[in-house]
Structure formats: C-alpha cells, structure tokens
Amino acid sequence: MIKLKDLLNPSILNEGVDDPGILKCVFLAGGPGSGKSRVAGDLFGISKGLTVAASGLKSVNSDVAFEAQLKKSGINPKDLGKIEKENPELWNAITEDPNGERAKGKKTTDTMRAFYEEGRLGMIIDGTGDDIGKIKAKKQHAESLGYDTYMVFVNTSLEVAQARNKKRDRVLGEDIVNEIWKACQHNLGAFQTLFSGNFRIVDNTPDGYNRTDDIKKAVEGFIRARLYNPIGKQWVTTARALKNANLINKW
C-alpha cells in the first residue's frame, strides 16, 4: 500500500473516499441551444456559476472556462457569431491559436478534471456531443481510472436550438449551430450503443419537456448504486485501508 502514495492525494482522499458520488462520471451532452443548463439545474441542482452538484459531483464544463477567458480578453461572448462572420482573423485567433482563448479555457478545464480524477471524485462532464470520438476516449479514460459512466443526452429541435442560441451568453453563428445539431443527431444512436443501459434522453423542446422526474430518479440511482467497475472497487478498498491505517497523514 505504501507504494501507492504517489497515486493518492492525501487531502483529496480525506475528503472524498467516502463521498456518495465517488467514482461516478456522468456525461451531459447536447448541442448549443439544447438547454443543458436548465437540465443540469433540474437533474443535479447546478445553477449558473456553481461547480458542485447537490449530489456532490463536480461539474467540468469547458464552456464556462472559455467564456471566462473571453471576458478576460475584453471579448463579449455574445459577439462570437458576429466575429465569426466579420472578422475571420480574430475568430481563428480565438478558436484555433494554441495561445487563444479556447485553448486557455481547455487547459483550465483539463487541470480541474485531472485534480478531480486524482481523488476519483464524482464528475459531470459537460460537452456538446458532436464528436463521438472525443466522448468515447473520455469515457474509456474515466473507466480506466475506475469510474462507472453514464450519459444524459439533451435533445431539441433545430428551430428551438437556433432560437435559444440567440439568447445565450455565448452566441454562435447559425451555420455552426446547424452543423453541431446535425452531428449530435447523427451520433445519438451510437451514444445509446456506447453507454447501453446507462443512457437517458431528455426531450427539451417546449412541448416535450417533462421536468425530468423519471430521468432524475434514474441518475440519482446510478450515483447511489454500488460501484460496478472492478478497478474502482480496488481503488476504494486501497484508499480506505490507507485512511484507516492513518498512513495518509504520515506522507
């Protein structure tokens, strides 16, 4: 057990090894304007500006860090759609430059996620869902650390997504919204296969939204359930043994 000291952060272990959401990772996917923020509030109790859910799961959202970087640079997130159309050079600097606002936001998010992963704390990974390869890789990475994984896909019509996009803090161009929406729809079946029984769809159109009661119950059941992943089970066993033996405080 002593050899594991470099893999286990004492301060995180003392706080997290007995958390109810330990080693549970929920992917929240949906395109721009799908209304993920509303669903996150209903399902997890995460309101704007908060990073910790009522269940204890930590929110990992690159959009939040990206918007913070934009504001830090004096760029209004609502102007992104206009910048894309009228100032391609600035758009590329923001979104493609390795020192640009998007890259800096991603670095911040990656650092945060790595910190949570070190203590195997429960996480909500917020993403768009247009690139199934990225989500598949993140799912495999989380499971290699011992996490059980789940996905909630927030769906809506293209018309509703476009209308909501115009009211967002970070407004995108209509073409981008259309492109991402189509990619998300294309990936929907693949996500269902990838996550199997640990997958739920929220219909977030105005006429279809159902307050998510059944889905909330399913997600809460997943978070409370015993760990399935054998790697996670072994990690918890080792971490508790170290904690109970008071080895953590001696490092």
Q: Under DSSP, is residue 35 helix (H, G, I), strand (E, B) or coil?
A: coil
Q: Is residue 240 part of a domain?
A: yes
Predicted pLDDT of residue 36:
85
DSSP per residue, 46-109: --TT--B-TTSPEEEEHHHHHHHHHHHTT--GGGHHHHHHH-HHHHHHHHT-TTSHHHHHHHHH
Number of domains in the chain: 1
Predicted pLDDT of residue 44:
84
Domain around 48: 2-59+123-250
* pTM score, whole prediction: 0.84
Calpha distance 40→38 (Å, rounded)? 5
CA distances from 242 to 10, 14, 23 (A): 10, 10, 17
Q: Is residue 200 part of a domain?
A: yes
Other beta carbons less than 10 A from residue 210's beta carbon:
10
Q: Is residue 114 part of a domain?
A: no
Q: Is residue 199 part of a domain?
A: yes
Q: Tell me which residue of 65, 57, 30 sits closest to 205, measured CA to CA.
A: 30
Q: Is residue 246 part of a domain?
A: yes
DSSP β-bridge partners for residue 128: none
Q: Is residue 202 part of a domain?
A: yes
Q: Is residue 47 part of a domain?
A: yes
Q: Are strands 24-29 and 148-155 parallel, antiparallel or unpaired?
A: parallel
Per-residue pLDDT of the chain (251 residues; tens, 9 = 90+): 344 444 444 444 445 677 778 999 999 999 888 888 888 888 887 766 556 766 778 889 888 888 889 999 999 988 888 898 899 999 999 999 999 999 998 899 999 899 999 889 999 998 888 999 999 999 999 999 999 999 999 999 999 999 998 888 788 889 999 999 999 999 999 999 999 999 999 988 876 666 678 888 999 999 999 999 999 999 999 888 887 776 555 43
CATH number of the domain that residue 38 is part of: 3.40.50.300
Q: Is residue 33 part of a domain?
A: yes
